Amino acid sequence: MPNLELEDDYQDLSDTVRDFADTVVAPVSAKHDEEHSFPYEVVSQMAEMGLFGLPFPEEHGGMGGDYFALALALEQLGRVDQSVAITLEAGVSLGAMPIHRFGTDAQKEEWLPMLASGKALAGFGLTEPEAGSDAGGTKTTARLEDGNWVVNGNKEFITNSGTDITKLVTVTAVTGTSERADGSVKKEISTILVPTGTAGFTAEKAYNKVGWNASDTHPLTLRNVTVPEANLLGTRGRGYANFLSILDEGRIAIAALATGAAQGCVDESVRYAKERSAFGQNIGKFQAISFKIARMQARAHTARLAYYGAASKMLAGKPFKTEAAIAKMVAGEAAMDNARDATQVFGGYGFMNEFRVSRHYRDSKILEVGEGTTEVQLMLIARELGL
């Protein structure tokens, strides 16, 4: 039989991050959400705890843990504050992980210790105004000129791309074209490391988002951004394949974050249902409310099993693309559904911004969209079924 009890190290990490989330993160969440401010003080404490280095080897400044450890931390943070959780998720799985997976020794030595320490953040720029789910629509170009890449284009919705501690954005760009047998044009997509101080790189004004207000998201403009040829990340022309594999892993991380959000909605609802009374009894005594919360618990539990399952396949070195897609979809929907039910349990207070459940209501929508929409996950699952 499979053993779904967490081993001691994982359990202790999860408990530690839970304690941190409750004592350090939660008290400032509503403030940063309202002010749309980046929680630098929280991020620096997460850095001290080594959270940004969780899945990286010690020789590159990491904690020597694995991707599941990261997922557990994300679940605990996602329970109380999705903005903080996505800052860690994007920083590690989109910012630093591509360098760990595909970087040269020199690139790893230059960037990983800084990123794993959490003292600096990196973003990953894939989405463009006209290329989201269909990343093949990428229009940004990079051409080789005198030993340098010259990058031109625009990126959309890039997380962690404009904070005071952002040092790098990895962008996808078309580095050439070839003709297919049928005469159509095939784009060669590669990934290029762009340090944020490079001339011509601009993180534009931050978006006014529905949720994730304390997470940093900007459109990017790249105008004749010139970086050394050695800033190519991975093999030329493998950019597309590489980011697809990064996104597969990332879906486990997002699923964990979403599981936390779904659980956070349960925990808040249970507490409130025991405290709030109407018609002479606690609202939790009404079966309409207790069944609603029971169903929420079932969703959170299912989401957790789904991401544990995907992570265990990944750590065992087995294919996990479909499991990750399922986990991402199930957990994202669990978060959204639970947030809707939790705000219902809270009545009018659920419509007030400062309550955690209303924050989850605004924050959870993006979980059905970012790092692959629900429709994209369904495409992947259907493809695996041969459809």
Question: What character string, x for contact with other proteins (CB under 8 A) and - otherwise, covers 235-254?
Answer: --------------------
User: Does 13 participate in binding other proteins (rule CB under 8 A)?
Assistant: yes
The answer to whether residue 373 forms part of the interface with ligand FAD (CB under 6 A) is yes
Contact 261, 363 (CB under 8 A): yes
Among the listed residues 66, 84, 85, 83, the one whose alpha carbon sits nearest the alpha carbon of residue 74 = 85
Residues 329-368 binding ligand FAD (CB under 6 A) are: 366
> Using CB distances below 5 to 8 A depending on partner kind, what does residue 43 bind out of ligand FAD, other proteins, none?
none
Q: Report the residue number, 69 or 336, with the smaller CB distance to other proteins.
A: 69
Measured from the CB atom, the residue of 23 and 177 that comes closer to other proteins is 23
For residue 154 the two structure tokens come to 């625009």
Is residue 145 flagged as an active site residue?
no
CA separation for the pair 88, 96 (Å, rounded): 11
Cα–Cα dist 28/65, whole Å = 28
- Number of other CB atoms surrounding residue 130 within 10 Å: 11
Check residue 8 for interaction with other proteins (CB under 8 A). yes
Q: Check: CB of residue 206 under 8 Å from CB of residue 158.
A: no
Among 11, 44, 104, 133, binds ligand FAD (CB under 6 A): 133
Write the interaction track for ligand FAD spanning residues 251-280; mark x where CB under 6 A is met and - where it is not. Answer: ------------------------------
Among 9, 59, 109, 145, interactor with other proteins by CB under 8 A: 9
Span near other proteins by CB under 8 A; candidates 44-52, 80-88, 213-221, 278-286 = 44-52
Amino acid at 26: A
Decide: 256 and 69 in contact? Cβ < 8 Å: no
Question: Which residues ranging from 79 to 108 are in contact with ligand FAD (CB under 6 A)?
Answer: 90, 94
In 10 A of CB 166, how many CB atoms? Answer: 21
Q: Please report how close the Cβ of residue 134 comes to ligand FAD at its closest, in angstroms.
A: 6
Q: Is 369 an interacting residue with respect to ligand FAD (CB under 6 A)? A: yes
Interacting partner of 69 out of other proteins, ligand FAD, none (Cβ under 5 to 8 A depending on kind): other proteins
CA distance 214 to 29: 8
Q: How many CB atoms lie within 10 A of CB 14?
A: 17
Residue tagged active-site, from 75, 128, 333, 371: 371
Toward other proteins, which CB reaches closer, 49 or 206?
49
Alpha-helical (H) ranges within the chain are 8-20, 26-35, 40-48, 67-80, 82-89, 97-102, 105-116, 239-275, 287-315, 321-345, 356-364, 374-384
Q: List the x/- string, 38-77, binding to ligand FAD by CB under 6 A.
A: ----------------------------------------
Cβ burial of 281 (10 Å; 0-12, 13-18, 19+) is exposed
Question: Which DSSP string corresponds to 288-346?
Answer: HHHHHHHHHHHHHHHHHHHHHHHHHHHHTT---HHHHHHHHHHHHHHHHHHHHHHHHHT
Place of tokens 């079966």: 287
With CB cut-offs between 5 and 8 Å by kind, which of ligand FAD, other proteins, none does residue 133 bind?
ligand FAD
Interface residues with other proteins (CB under 8 A)? 8-9, 12-13, 16, 19-20, 45, 48-51, 54, 58, 63-65, 69
Interface residues with ligand FAD (CB under 6 A)? 90, 94, 123-127, 132-133, 157-159, 209, 212, 217, 366, 369-373, 375-376
